[in-house]
């Protein structure tokens, strides 16, 4: 038996990989030995910082701009991954947007924009993923623990994430026989710009006190869950939504 390590790395595509949970996930998967394609929507500078952090630590990464809801741009994203690294093994779809307001007051244009990214974006990325993934691959979508909490103001966002969960559970069954797992991670309140923006200190403190662990989650907490699902230890977890929220009911 040879002790030589394979020359072709496992490859991960991480959407929304320039900031927050996506960036932490990209860096964690790079430490796990993946070559990482960091997708971003518009902030080239932040994406380049993610790539620089990975390469300075000895990993392999490249940044690629694509609108996750545009099927042509997402196809080009996967083309770049295959051309540069030889294929794709794991897709982490962390890109998403969140707009909050009571249902009665919600701006319908904002609803359409959010659903375009969160619902259509998930559909488009997952569609390319299952067409491209090599055997033994994994798709990891992002939902939210807010679905089970029924918090006023979150109706539109929760609806979009409910759609993500439905797609995830069905897709896991549609890829039967291909040795591909499909799961979703549903973070609770996590200290990212997406969560913190627009909230006062009292609101943040109240939400941090909700879990029995009495703190907000961190991007590193969530990246660890993704790492588990992307790695060999997570291969028997399939068609599930993992609620990584510190114990919020």
Which residues are catalytically annotated?
A: 157
Characterize the bridge pairing of strands 241-242 and 138-142.
unpaired
Residue written as tokens 């244009």? 109
Q: What is the DSSP string of 66-133?
A: --TT-HHHHHHHHHHHHHHHS---EEEE---------GGG--HHHHHHHHIIIIIHHHHHHHHHHHHP
Cα 57 from Cα 27, distance rounded (Å): 9
Q: State how far the Cα of 43 lies from the Cα of 61, in Å rounded to an integer.
A: 16
The β-bridge partners of 139 are: 91, 182
CA 211 to chain centre: 22
- The angle at the Cα of 174, spanning 173 to 179, to the nearest 5 degrees, equals 75
Whether the CB-CB separation of 13 and 88 falls below 8 Å is answered with: yes
**What is the C-alpha to C-alpha distance for residues 96 and 109, in angstroms, rounded to an integer?**
16
CA 13, CA 29: separation in Å to the nearest integer? 10
Q: Is 211 helix (H, G, I), strand (E, B) or coil?
A: coil
């Amino acid at each position: 038996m040879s002790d030589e390590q394979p020359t072709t790395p496992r490859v991960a595509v991480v959407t929304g990989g320039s900031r927050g949970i996506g960036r932490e996930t990209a860096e964690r998967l790079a430490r796990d030995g993946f070559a990482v394609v960091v997708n971003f929507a518009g902030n080239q500078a932040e994406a380049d910082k993610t790539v620089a952090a990975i390469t300075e630590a000895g990993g392999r990464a490249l940044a690629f701009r694509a609108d996750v809801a545009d099927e042509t741009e997402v196809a080009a994203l996967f083309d770049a991954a295959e051309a540069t690294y030889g294929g794709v093994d794991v897709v982490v779809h962390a890109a998403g947007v969140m707009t909050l307001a009571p249902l009665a007051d919600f701006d319908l244009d904002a609803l359409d924009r959010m659903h375009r990214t969160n619902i259509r974006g998930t559909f488009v990325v997952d569609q390319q993923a299952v067409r491209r993934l090599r055997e033994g691959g994994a798709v990891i979508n992002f939902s939210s623990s807010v679905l089970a909490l029924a918090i006023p103001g979150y109706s539109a966002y929760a609806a979009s994430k409910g759609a993500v969960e439905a797609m995830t559970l069905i897709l896991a069954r549609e890829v039967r026989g291909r040795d591909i797992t499909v799961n979703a991670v549903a973070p609770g309140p996590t200290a990212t710009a997406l969560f913190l923006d627009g909230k006062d200190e009292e609101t943040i403190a109240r939400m941090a006190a909700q879990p029995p662990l009495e703190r907000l989650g961190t991007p590193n907490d969530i990246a660890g869950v993704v790492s588990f699902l992307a790695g060999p230890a997570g291969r028997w977890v399939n068609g599930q939504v993992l609620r990584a929220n510190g114990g919020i009911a």
